[in-house]
Structure 1
């Protein structure tokens, strides 16, 4: 039979009251009235004190521990550190400390599981990306070894394709090394005074041939017009802008329009790269900065690239203490935005 706090308090109060009466009965001059008042008083005081001690300090806190266990089971980890510090009840502090410790360990376990899943997915992606150019080059070379080398036309064609596959493999390995160095902090940023307008014009010149082939116009708008100076690593910010503008041209529509906007305020320069291409579906927007993630895998492969460009862009901007955002609507175009510290 389980005992409730009231029954326990009642039994203990009766025991204390009985002991009080027994003790007073041996005292000279103790009348029945005195014994009655003393017995009733000791019973009432004992009952409420014991009930309070058991109900509030034991049973209620034990019930909270059960609730804590339930919260941990359903992964509800909301608790403030201030609440623990303010508590003076040792049961409450113990309960909250256990909760915080277990919650912290559970989050660590969840993070380890997430990283393990990420590692497996990354290895699978890398294996797939490396396999494609290796198998292609291998096939061309083995075909030449098997006799096709004697045909000069076939030989030149297959050697050219093998070289193209190996160039793609080289670009992939370089991007992987660059991304790894950025993530581990091995690449140190050399911050300097950089003119973003000049950088943008340089990239437009580099991409002129690609843009002309797709009949895409490249436009720079800066407010105010003229040089736009920022604090950045010149080489890395050139890499960021090249990747974003080249993507806008490659994945945009024929006869498209790519516009780079540079807007200055007191502390920052807002850089935006906008195209009027097919846009990115909403379900893909949160994942486009992941390694090897492609919105349309077949079309992305046809247009080249390693699938690491946007991941590298994100890490370079993180090193500049900036975050990149993307807004896109299907059939309306895509805009990438980030801020850089302005300098005079």
Structure 2
């Protein structure tokens, strides 16, 4: 009984009305002086039934249409053509509308949730950018004011403060450049220049370029074994050098003094797996899932002291995903961290 169609309801209602009319007519026929033939009663009841059914059908159809029209106008905030909402009276119209309203409400709730997440992300992003820019700007401002107040004429301070101001300006430039890189990747405007790259040689060049930093922390950079033959991958050499530079630099910055950073290569048939492993303090599980987010830092004070922009791993993720590959991290507290990514074989 719960899925009665409007057509069925009008039919039942018309039959009931006809039955009541039949009882009334038969009752009248028994009154003195009233003579009604059976054929007349039969024809009259047919006319009453058809008239009642047609009138009820049209009234119910118009009522349902008006209600549906109001509902859909409120749902979609647009002008709806009459024919597009003309109800099919042979179906459970109200039940179908109810389902559509529920689906519409669920979609709107999902949209609202998504908009709130985007708004929170926007607020967090703007706050992070402002915070990252504030430190170098205030530093530059302080050094320049100190120089203007008299230190400019003192040879013991002027060059020192100018160097510090230049370093802060360089940090700002790095932040803006990294933001620009991420924006171009996300907008799809940054195209990769794929070529045949020897990933072993490229890794060796990056390690040679970071050797001085590693020596300052007594960290040894090297491969897990001797790689005498090249390993070729299909990649954008410049962008992959950015990935390796970020990962190796992080392993130096967060590795323990006297430790080591090791690069591994594994053959996965159609891909090469590259791993950058350190023996630092490691990363707890709650942090691992957010490491590749923009500006996310496990240890905020320590990270800023190291001079990073907080965008390095986010850029790595965008670069690797642009190659249609994946990057991940595995780590345990006290046992170091391993950052892994894949590249297609050349």
Instruction: Tell me the TM-score normalised to structure 1 length.
Output: 0.73
Matched, 1:278 2:278: no
Deviation for aligned residue 1:14? 7.3
For the Cα contact (< 8 Å) 1:264–1:342, is it kept in 2? no
Distance 1:265 1:133, change over 3 A: same
**Gaps in structure 1 of 5+ consecutive residues:** 29-87
Separation in structure 2 between the aligned mates of residue 112 and residue 177 of structure 1, nearest angstrom: 24
Of the three residues 89, 104, 114, the one matched with 1:101 is 104
Question: Quick check: 257-266 or 19-28, which moved more?
Answer: 19-28
Counterpart secondary structure, 2:156: helix
Distance 1:18 1:282, change over 3 A: same
Equivalent residues, number: 286
Counterpart secondary structure, 2:144: helix
For the Cα contact (< 8 Å) 2:200–2:227, is it kept in 1? no
Counterpart secondary structure, 2:298: coil
Deviation for aligned residue 1:247? 0.5
1:324 matched to which residue of 2? Answer: 327
2:233 matched to which residue of 1? Answer: 230
Deviation for aligned residue 1:240? 0.7
1:197 matched to which residue of 2? Answer: 200
1:302 matched to which residue of 2? Answer: 305
2:124 matched to which residue of 1? Answer: 121
For the Cα contact (< 8 Å) 2:260–2:278, is it kept in 1? yes
Distance 1:222 1:191, change over 3 A: farther
Distance 1:23 1:171, change over 3 A: same
For the Cα contact (< 8 Å) 1:223–1:264, is it kept in 2? no
> Rg bigger for which structure?
2
Instruction: Tell me the TM-score normalised to structure 2 length.
Output: 0.73
Separation in structure 1 between the aligned mates of residue 25 and residue 265 of structure 2, nearest angstrom: 93
Deviation for aligned residue 1:130? 0.9
Deviation for aligned residue 1:339? 1.7
Separation in structure 1 between the aligned mates of residue 282 and residue 100 of structure 2, nearest angstrom: 49
C-alpha deviations, 1:92-111, integer Å up to 9, x for none? 54333333333222222221
Of the three residues 293, 296, 312, the one matched with 2:296 is 293
2:175 matched to which residue of 1? Answer: 172
Separation in structure 1 between the aligned mates of residue 314 and residue 153 of structure 2, nearest angstrom: 44
Distance 1:90 1:199, change over 3 A: farther
Q: CA RMSD in A?
A: 3.3
